Amino acid sequence: MQLLQQYASCPYKQAQIALRDHSQGVAFSWQELNQLVSEKQDWLLSLGLQPGSGVAFSGKNSFELLCCYLAGLQGKMRVLGINPAFTTEKIEQLCQQNQIQRWIDVGENLCVRPLKTELDFRIGTNSPSNDKAKGLTLTLTSGSTGTPKAIVHDIQAHLDNAQGVCQLMDFTAEKSWLLSLPLYHVSGQGIVWRWILQGAELHLPSCHFYQDVLQVSHVSLVPTQALRLFEYVAKNPQTALQTREILLGGASIPLEISQKLTALGIKAYAGYGMTEMASTVFAKRCDGETGVGQPLLGRVFQIVNDEIWLKGAGLALGYWQNGEIQPLTNPQGWLQTKDKAYWDGEQLHILGRLDNQFISGGENIQPEEIEQIIQQHPLVEQVFVLPIDDAEFGQRPVAMMKFQQEFSQTAVQKIQDFLINKIERFKQPVRYFPLNLEWQGNIKISRVNLKQVLAQLIGE
């Protein structure tokens, strides 16, 4: 947190606005923000936490949550962000798995929640000593198994990742970025570190989210949020629009979205990233072509047996397991992503997860290939293709759909007609089900959860 303290002590910087909280209608200078974070750090120390201790925060984005996050890192603690939608039982389990000494519920009021198993506050033999401890983030990722792993980054890895994104999107100290994605997710943390790296302005949204989107120069959105933004602009055509750059992520980006953003005078960027690399790895200005561009500053890649391997800027220290940081790279020092991809000489193309692939009648099915084709239809807002068991073919593809309008058999029939000449017959979904985004509590939809929901729908 050295940069925060530097800004607060710099005569030319300390009085500049660091953060605007739209929900409260207040702004904080770098000096004021640093003071509040230091006070929050003292409070954490009063709870018995110390350098090397583990502290978990659950809650929706707020000024309080951000200060807690920064204070924990400034205090050289291990900071774990947890989705507030998780049950108490699941949160307690995650805290126990990751040697968390204090779970703090950041709701309307700060609440230190009791843990069933109170953990020893002494620094264990496998943990860093007070002298060697440094601020670490623990970010949960479910991967393909559904079992959350805590991925460990130090502050420098976050800053290294941020540098490449700032360079691509021309994000400088004079600009502002909206904290539009949750802090417990790596994409939300990515916003924070770009802001701190550049000494720019961070904006916290109010209940008027899409109005706030239009008051910053930069924002990160998932496709669903982008679609809602278009609806807001259509209903409020007189609204002044200050937004100049939008980073799209969380799913494949329909061409329609980038075209509409361009029509509004906004530069749209799409890319490829992952928690293990502290967020975005490849990115480009949306150009109507498939592909995720070139590696950003400091990232290195190679493709081995159709799998993309990564290292460089943003690479995590490892997984937190049994009180230690376990390596996540192979013996050659590469992160094997399990993502299927190819390089066309100019840019990277992501074909899907190797572990999503299934076999139907002896043919390999890559769900993401089918999804990209279905997504081209103007009726479709979001789609996921999953396998179901079949006595004759082994498995067959089915689609879970969210249309721009209500789910209906008429809409399904239009998709079926659309696919007749677009994709091989054995890849065409044999059944269609509604996709209810309310099932998901995260910005990235879990296929593991969707498979569970699908099993319930098929059983009904």
Q: Is position 408 within any domain?
A: yes
CA nearest neighbour of 114 among 63, 75, 56, 59: 56
Distances (CA, A) of 365 to 350, 371, 428: 15, 11, 10
* Claim to verify: residue 327 and residue 361 sit in the same structural domain: no
Q: Is position 285 within any domain?
A: yes
* Claim to verify: residue 346 and residue 364 sit in the same structural domain: no
The per-residue pLDDT for range 66-87, each reduced to its tens digit, is 999 999 999 999 999 999 988 8
The per-residue pLDDT for range 84-98, each reduced to its tens digit, is 988 899 999 999 999
Distance CA 193, CA 79 (A): 15
Q: Tell which of 319, 338, 354 closes a domain.
A: 354
Where residue 374 falls among pLDDT bands split at 50, 70, 90? very high
The per-residue pLDDT for range 284-318, each reduced to its tens digit, is 999 878 889 999 999 999 999 999 999 999 999 99
CA nearest neighbour of 9 among 42, 40, 50, 38: 38
Where residue 396 falls among pLDDT bands split at 50, 70, 90? very high
Q: Is position 452 within any domain?
A: yes
- Strands (E) located in 184-329: 201-204, 218-221, 245-248, 267-274, 279-285, 294-295, 299-304, 307-312, 318-321, 324-326
Number of domains into which the chain is organized: 3
Q: Is position 150 within any domain?
A: no
The per-residue pLDDT for range 420-456, each reduced to its tens digit, is 999 999 999 999 999 986 645 456 777 888 888 898 8
pLDDT at 121: 42
pLDDT at 227: 85
Residue 366 in 3-state DSSP? coil
pLDDT at 439: 46
Q: Is position 163 within any domain?
A: yes
Both tokens of residue 451?
Answer: 């498979």
CA nearest neighbour of 62 among 203, 208, 174: 203
Phi-psi region of 7 (alpha: psi -120 to 50; beta: other; left: phi over 0): alpha
pLDDT for residue 203 is more than 90:
yes
Predicted model pTM: 0.87
CA nearest neighbour of 360 among 387, 326, 328, 329: 387
Q: Tell which of 300, 328, 354 closes a domain.
A: 354
| Cβ–Cβ under 8 Å, residues 164 and 313 | yes
The per-residue pLDDT for range 13-51, each reduced to its tens digit, is 999 999 999 999 999 999 999 999 999 999 999 999 999
Q: Is position 270 within any domain?
A: yes
* Claim to verify: residue 388 and residue 342 sit in the same structural domain: no
CATH number reported for the structural domain that contains residue 218 in this entry:
3.40.50.12780
| Cβ–Cβ under 8 Å, residues 123 and 129 | yes
What is the extent of the structural domain holding 169?
157-354
Both tokens of residue 356?
Answer: 């999503």
Q: Tell which of 354, 376, 411 closes a domain.
A: 354
pLDDT at 257: 86
* Claim to verify: residue 20 and residue 63 sit in the same structural domain: yes
Q: Is position 142 within any domain?
A: no
The per-residue pLDDT for range 207-252, each reduced to its tens digit, is 999 999 999 999 999 887 898 899 999 999 888 899 999 999 866 7
pLDDT at 117: 57
* Claim to verify: residue 335 and residue 372 sit in the same structural domain: no
> Within the chain, how many helices (H) and strands (E) appear?
12, 26
* Claim to verify: residue 364 and residue 431 sit in the same structural domain: yes
The mean-pLDDT minimum among 117-121, 399-403, 409-413 falls in 117-121
* Claim to verify: residue 77 and residue 168 sit in the same structural domain: no
* Claim to verify: residue 49 and residue 181 sit in the same structural domain: no
* Claim to verify: residue 170 and residue 262 sit in the same structural domain: yes
Tally the C-alpha atoms within 13 A of residue 146's C-alpha that lie toward its C-beta: 8
- Strands (E) located in 114-166: 136-141, 149-154
The residue whose two tokens read 């090397």 is 52
Distance CA 438, CA 160 (A): 34
CATH number reported for the structural domain that contains residue 449 in this entry:
3.30.300.30
Where residue 256 falls among pLDDT bands split at 50, 70, 90? confident
Mean pLDDT of the chain: 90
The per-residue pLDDT for range 101-157, each reduced to its tens digit, is 999 999 877 889 888 655 544 444 344 556 578 999 999 986 545 568 999 999 999
CA nearest neighbour of 270 among 256, 244, 299, 290: 290
Q: Is position 140 within any domain?
A: no
* Claim to verify: residue 108 and residue 29 sit in the same structural domain: yes
* Claim to verify: residue 391 and residue 432 sit in the same structural domain: yes
pLDDT at 122: 44
pLDDT at 130: 60
pLDDT for residue 179 is more than 80:
yes
Distance CA 15, CA 9 (A): 10
pLDDT at 142: 67
* Claim to verify: residue 327 and residue 442 sit in the same structural domain: no
Distance CA 224, CA 45 (A): 40
- β-bridge mates for residue 311, sequence order: 300
